[in-house]
Structures are given as C-alpha cells and as structure tokens.
Chain A
Amino acid sequence: MDVPLEETPVYKVKSYKSDLKPIWCPGCGDFSVLSAIMRALTELQLPPHQVSLVSGIGCSSRLPAYSTLYGFHSVHGRALPVASGLKLSRPDLTVLAVGGDGDGFSIGGNHFIHACRRNVDMTYIVMDNSVYGMTKGQASPTTDPEWPGSKLTPDGPGVAAFKPLEMALSAGATFIARAFSGDPLEVARQICEGIQHPGFSFVHVLSPCVTYRPEQKTWRERVHEGFPEPTDDRREAFLRLLDDDAFSTGILYKGRTGAFQPHAEATTRAVALGDQFVI
C-alpha cells in the first residue's frame, strides 16, 4: 500500500532523533535498527507525537530514549502487554514495541505467544543477538546449544534454540518477517510494511553483539534472501520454515485476518472481581 506523501515531507530522520546519544557499544547492530525505525517513520510521514515506542529491559530496550516518540521503558518482558493496552485504549496511535531476544522470548515469552494470537494492530521489533548483553553475556533462548561463551554454561546451554518465526506463525501472528541489521534499508522496508499491516506484525532482526558474540560478524556472509515474496498461506509459510537455516531474510508471511477489535465492553471491572476476595 502506498502512503500518500505531501509534496515536501514535513518530517525528516532528525525529527525522530532525541538529543541523547546511544550508549551501545560501537559496532552494535542496534544502531542500524534505530536508524531503520526512523527511516520507516520518515517514509510514512508519521508525526512523532502520534507514534509510541514501548520497550522491555535490555540493551536494545534503551531505544525509546533515543527517539522523540512517546516512549515507555517498561518492565522486563512486558513490552507487549503494555503496548497492547496502549493500542486498545488509543487506537489512533501507531504503536511499536521493541526489545531483545531474552526480553521477548524468555522473560516475555508468554506475552509474545499471546500477542501473536491476539493480533492487536501493532509492530514488534526484536533485535536478536542470541545473548544477554546487558548482564554480561549469558546464553539466551536463541543461543546455539553448543555455544561455550559463558562461564555459567561452559559446554553451551544444551537446549535447542527457540525458533521465533515458527512460534509466531504457530501462535497466529499475521505478519512475520526477518532482516539483518547490516542491511538497514531492508529493515526499514519491513518495519514500514509491518506498520501498514492491519494486525500484529513481528519483525525479527538479526542484530549482532560485537562485545559478547564477536563471531556474529560473520552473519553478514550467512544471511540470504530466503523469503523473496510473502505468502498468505500458512501451510506454505510452515513449509518454508522447515527449510529455514535461521538466516533467511524477507517477509515470510502476510495473513489476511483483520486486527483484533474488542467486541463489547466488559460487564464488570477487574477491580470489582478483586472485591470478591476476603483477606
């Protein structure tokens, strides 16, 4: 869908940048994701005050501070419920949620599943570096089972890596994509399409950690365009994922289910339920 543009764009990339300078390690993939988000918003000409950026905890979750958007740096793993609540109460806003693989797939794993299932109209961008960087390099849900880089798991975590795209598809997400931070224009394209998609859009960004996983610099050679065109057929999407080596990029799946809309007002208030309990 093309968005009508004014003859002269009002908002430039710098319109979305705050005065705070990112404290990420130079070389971190998250810089490119920050830049891609701003490129996408510039392309869509979304006024900064009509976009909200919600995050959890971790290196990548610092992102809202570096933007002029309304931001909410929430609780570990809870970016998605906060973002869902915001979107449902303020459907006029464009809502983005951001975070890392530990925040989104471990601490917030349950919320990830239900956000996919609920299909609220928002975009979730996960910067996946397969490590807990802020706490100095422990294995995360997407770490290879044999990774020996942490003293806590010297022989590797020994657990099969979480598969975010398979999980999102199984749980009901209607827009699923993967990009590499080293290709920021593709990240911007996917974010742009995700924002325009009516429903929950999940953009999985492979975003190397140069400090605790320096070997991830080789990701540039490993990524490849595995999903040249999105499919709207879930069966086809699952088949594609069976051949996925975790480095396929592109938009995998765009479903046609409309975004979640509350059907009716609740007949009681949550606080009233609490009144039934006697301490």
Chain B
Amino acid sequence: METVEEFLAHAVALEEDSAVRFDDMADALEVHQNDEVTGLFRRMAHFSRLHLAEAQKMAEGLDLPHFKPWEYKWPDAEAPETPEMDATHYLMTPHHALTLALDSEKRGHAFYADLAANNGNDRIRELAMEFAEEEAEHVALLETMLAKYPLPPGDWDEDMDPPVAVD
C-alpha cells in the first residue's frame, strides 16, 4: 500500500463489507426469530456504516482507486472486520454474537496497527495509527459488553423441536 488514496479505498471497503455482512447475518437470524442477536448484528452494521461515513468524509476530494473485490490487499481472504458467515447458528446467543464482533474489531485493529508500524508512507502511518486507536476503543467497548454475557451452558445449541430434523 503506497498512497493515501489506496489506504482510504481499503478503509472504505473494510467498513462497507463489514456493514453488508452484519446486515446479512441479522437477516439470517431474523428469519429464525432470534431477536436479541438480530438486534446486536443490526447495531454492528449501523456502527460500521457510521465508520464508513467517516472514512468517506476523509476521502472527499481525493480520487480513490478502483479495486475489484478480490484485489484488495487484506491479510486474509476477506476484509479484516468482515465476520465469517458460517459462524452463525440459529440458536446463537448474544455471547456468541459479541465474540464474533469482538474478533472482527480485533482483526481491524491488527490491520491498522500493522500499517502504522510498517508502512513506508508517513501519512499512511499517521492515518493508520489514528484508525488503530479508534479500533482499540471499539475492542474495549465490546469487551465491556461481552462481560455482561458470560459463556452459555454447553448445551446452548440443543433443540428439542428443531426446525429441520434428520430423517
């Protein structure tokens, strides 16, 4: 990553992908009437969109490069704050949802912290430091929230009347 424009294009995509995925997960859980987790995922999507707006504002007046979705330079297969869709379960609890969100924020923090430490462009390092600090605040906030939802009992996914039964 060599230019500020490239950096901000990544920042925008990171938040946009995260918002879309949290909304998709909320939709999936809403169908299964898991209202509490649906609400949490909607809130996470909302926060991602707020951060997206901030990143877009910073990019105003700049000509951001266009990357195809698979051309971004992410450390893993997807943008760091995008939770894995296959980590959902129709009976998942707020503990699971917040853990997923926390993991996403931690990955986002690590992404920016790495750029802040290792990128060769002074302005990118400065911006990445700023973003990393903000992500660290999100991590702390989610850790506080998660503390209110302890790990559920081991049989949390047992369902005596499952929506789909094996024949």
Chain A contacts of B89 at CB under 8 A?
Answer: 26-27, 210
| Residue from B31, B66, B70, B167 in contact with A23 in the complex, judged by beta carbons closer than 8 Å | B31
- Please pick, from A31, A136, A183, the residue contacting B164 in the complex, using a CB distance under 8 A: A136
Q: Is the pair A21, B20 in contact by a Cβ cutoff of 8 Å?
A: no
Q: Mark B15-47, 1 if CB is under 8 A from A, else 0.
A: 000001100110111111000000000000000
Contact status A26-B88, CB under 8 Å:
yes
Q: Please, how many angstroms separate the alpha-carbon atoms of A184 and B85 in the complex?
A: 10
Given contacts A26-B32, A43-B68, A192-B68, contact A35 B167 (CB under 8 A): no
Q: Does B149 contact A (CB under 8 A)?
A: no
Are A25 and B164 closer than 8 Å at their CB atoms?
A: yes
B86 touches A22 (CB 8 A): no
Q: What residue in chain A is nearest B165 (Cβ atoms)?
A: A136
CB-contact partner of B69 in A28, A138, A181, A185, under 8 A: A185
Whether a CB of chain B sits under 8 angstroms from the CB of A144 is no
Could you say which of B28, B92, B166 contacts A212, with CB atoms under 8 Å apart?
B166
A181 CA to B24 CA in the complex, in Å?
15
Q: How far is the CB of A39 from chain B (nearest CB, A)?
A: 5
Number of residues of chain B lying within 8 A (CB) of chain A: 28
A217: interface (CB < 8 Å): yes
Shortest Cβ gap from A197 to chain B (Å): 16
Check B92 against A26 for contact (C-beta < 8 Å): yes
**Contact: A186 with B167, CB < 8 Å?**
no
Cβ of B85 and Cβ of A32 under 8 Å apart? yes
Chain A nearest CB, measured from B110 CB (Å):
19
Interface assignment of A68: CB less than 8 Å from any CB of chain B = no
Residue A58 at the chain B interface, CB threshold 8 Å? no
Name A's B-contacting residues (CB within 8 A).
5, 13, 21-29, 31-32, 35, 39, 43, 135-138, 149-152, 181-186, 188-189, 192, 208, 210-212, 217, 220
A-B contact pairs, 16 of them (CB 8 A): A26-B89, A27-B88, A32-B85, A43-B68, A43-B69, A135-B167, A150-B167, A181-B86, A182-B86, A183-B77, A186-B77, A189-B70, A210-B86, A210-B89, A217-B86, A220-B86
Query: Sorted from nearest, which 7 A-B pairs have the closest CB atoms?
Result: A26-B88, A185-B70, A136-B167, A21-B27, A26-B28, A189-B70, A183-B77
